[in-house]
Amino acid sequence: MAVQDVVTREYTINLHKRLHGVHFHKRAPKAVKEIKKFATLHFRTSDVRLDPKLNVELWKRGVQGVPHRLRVRISRKRNDEEDAKEKLFAYVEAVNVPTTKGLQTVVVDDE
């Protein structure tokens, strides 16, 4: 496995446009699915795991009050389980920022 396979990036996900027209009591579960879909698209792995703190951040204002934009850090890591289907998985965690305005995608250096 190459070093490039393991990478960490920070994204701002616009949940507002992904949840437009969704019934109020399906918004937070749909947001979880949309974040997983986003990570699958950008990191090309179907094994996506969400940090429990990200789940708390999504559900903080209830099932209807999902934030419009969310800053997340997605890391592609090696899967050490011997019965794993894929060698890599994506781990998504929330990033605490004062505002999401004007933030670009950033590659994070893990040392």
Residue 3 is predicted with a pLDDT of 54
What mean pLDDT is predicted for residues 37-45? 95
Which domain does 56 fall in, by range?
Answer: 3-108
**Burial degree of 14 (CB within 10 A; 0-12, 13-18, 19+):** middle
Residue 110 is predicted with a pLDDT of 63
Residue 109 is predicted with a pLDDT of 78
Contact status, residue 44 vs residue 84, Cβ threshold 8 Å: no
The average confidence (pLDDT) of the chain is: 92
Three-class DSSP category at 2: coil
Residue 4 is predicted with a pLDDT of 65
Contact status, residue 15 vs residue 66, Cβ threshold 8 Å: yes
Segment holding 30, helix H or strand E: helix 27-43
CATH of the domain at 36: 3.10.440.10
**What's the pLDDT band for 83 if we cut at 50, 70, 90?**
confident
**Burial degree of 35 (CB within 10 A; 0-12, 13-18, 19+):** buried
What mean pLDDT is predicted for residues 22-36? 97
Which pair of structure tokens corresponds to residue 71? 């800053």
Sheet holding 48-50, edge to edge: 48-50, 88-94, 69-78, 7-14, 106-108
Q: How many independent structural domains does the chain possess?
A: 1
Distance CA 40, CA 78 (A): 15
